[in-house]
Amino acid sequence: MEESSSPLRDLLNISARTLKLGKRLDDPKIFLNLLEESRRLGLSEEFCRRLLGLLIEEKERAEGAAAKKEDGLRLRRFAARAMEMRKAGRKVVRLELGEPDFSASEKVIEAACEAIREGRTKYSSAAGLKELKEEIASNLSSRYGVDLKTENIAITAGGTLATYAAIEVLSKPGDSVMVIEPAWPLYAHQIKRLGRRVVKVRTKIEDGWDPVEAIKEKISRLVKIIILNYPNNPTGKVLDRKSFKGLLDLAEDYDAWIVSDEVYIDFSYNGRAPSILEYDYPKTYYLNSFSKTWGMTGFRIGFVVTDPDIAGKVSGVLSTVMTCVPEFIQRAALAALRDEESRKRNIELIGKRLKVLYEELSKSKLIQLIPPEGAMYVFPKIKAEGFSSWSFAEKLLEKEGVAVAPGACFGEYYDDHLRISAVVDEAELRDAAGKIVKAVEEEIWRKD
């Protein structure tokens, strides 16, 4: 006797036939056809979306497209090698990580120490310190002309956890998350780790790193989240207001959440960078960190601004993975927000260093880069045949004692790029940039 049919089996059969046809599974027509079948069979649109996302990912895996090396995690090992060399007594100029040489100010350190002396070392609320959230809400409301409440704020363990929480609470396994490349490597790593599919959008230095047209070509109803990061790591790109609004309009057309990573929002050198908080977009998830502006990378504290319900879920993620951010760390962050002098000094310092990098690297005709707009990086393209960013970076480190990040870490199309961080003093930066230029001109990556 023939086995009876079921809605799920019927939809799987339809999906299998789609795969055999060899069509582009992210074609909007495919999604609409499956959606129609899902409704007919009594299945939800969310289920259809996730199923199709999983089918696309499996098809890519079978074709070998998903079997890429985790270059972003390899960068961590490379950075560890640079650290080992320094500990062994070798002089190493470290330009591979986004960690400035300035540290937290005395005011911030004293606030942390005072909180420890007062015994503020017990468990605290996962939702975050009320005073800190009030200061964040007041600061951002004044800056962007909005009316934020403490309920809109969630305190997180740095920007990394804020991003992780966004993927977890705004999407489900099988959903698609759009990443604009070149991109911070942990975006894709976190998306995959949480069982979501990465939709990569490629931008080019020849187009000024503008993402709007590239997103138009790749976006579909499968995309639940678009991650924006402007000013950008690694390119330093700052979106103009027209482009920013264009991206929001696209997101609204496809009912996608915008996760706006604005960790570098203070580091804007061609006018104030636009923020997602300035726009009345309903599906907004803003994240920031104290790491860069105040030199607090090791403090591991950041925050999220979003709908109160989502903010509560973010606090739930924090509670699950690490209970809470220590109160003495939050007290230090509160002091940082009130230390405007240090904030301005640090921003000005990075701006001067970016100009040094641009000036020195532009001396080589083999190095293509655009004037720095923001963040704390340059991402030049090396116009030399056979250039390999990993081979270059490894040999530069060993032979010249200069560490830079291979472009391949930020996307598969960027092996002919390097990310260089403006995080050491100007004299040291000029010397290191000179060594980079010399190594490029001498084609160091080809030598044993």
Establish whether the linkage from the previous residue to 182 is cis, with ω within 30° of 0: yes
The answer to whether residue 311 is domain-embedded is yes
Establish whether the linkage from the previous residue to 211 is cis, with ω within 30° of 0: no
Do 242 and 285 share a domain, yes or no? Answer: yes
Do 333 and 382 share a domain, yes or no? Answer: no
Tokens encoding 190: 């976190």
Q: How far apart are CA 244 and CA 305, in angstroms?
A: 18
CA 23 vs. chain centroid, Å, equals 31
Q: How far apart are CA 93 and CA 28, in angstroms?
A: 49
Domain stops at, among 338, 365, 395: 338
User: How many Cβ atoms from other residues are within 10 Å of residue 446's Cβ?
Assistant: 13
**Number of domains, the chain:** 3
Q: How far apart are CA 152 and CA 79, in angstroms?
A: 36
Q: How far apart are CA 125 and CA 45, in angstroms?
A: 36
Residues belonging to the chain:
448
Q: Which residues pair with 19 in a beta bridge?
A: none
Domain stops at, among 321, 338, 355: 338
Do 298 and 433 share a domain, yes or no? Answer: no
pTM of this prediction exceeds 0.85: yes
DSSP helix/strand/coil, 401? coil
> What pLDDT tens digit does each residue of the chain (448 aa) get?
444 456 666 666 666 665 555 455 555 566 666 667 667 777 776 776 676 666 666 666 665 544 455 565 688 889 999 999 999 999 999 999 999 999 999 999 999 999 999 999 999 999 999 999 999 999 999 999 999 999 999 999 999 999 999 999 999 988 999 999 999 999 999 999 998 999 999 999 999 999 999 999 999 888 999 999 999 999 999 999 999 999 999 999 999 999 999 999 999 998 889 999 999 999 999 999 999 999 999 999 999 999 999 999 999 999 999 999 999 999 999 999 999 999 999 999 999 999 999 999 999 999 999 998 999 999 999 999 999 999 999 999 999 999 999 999 999 999 999 999 999 999 999 999 999 999 999 999 887 6
Tokens encoding 236: 């330093």
The answer to whether residue 284 is domain-embedded is yes
CA-based end-to-end distance of the chain: 70
- Which uninterrupted H or E stretch holds 405? strand 405-406
Judge whether 264 and 374 are in contact, CB under 8 Å.
yes
Which is nearest to 128 in space by CA: 341, 356, 301, 370? 301
Domain range for 15 is 9-62
Do 45 and 144 share a domain, yes or no? Answer: no
**What is the CATH number for 387?**
3.90.1150.10
Residue position matching structure tokens 């609204």: 252
The answer to whether residue 1 is domain-embedded is no
Q: 378 — phi, psi (to 5°)?
A: -120, 150
Do 37 and 178 share a domain, yes or no? Answer: no
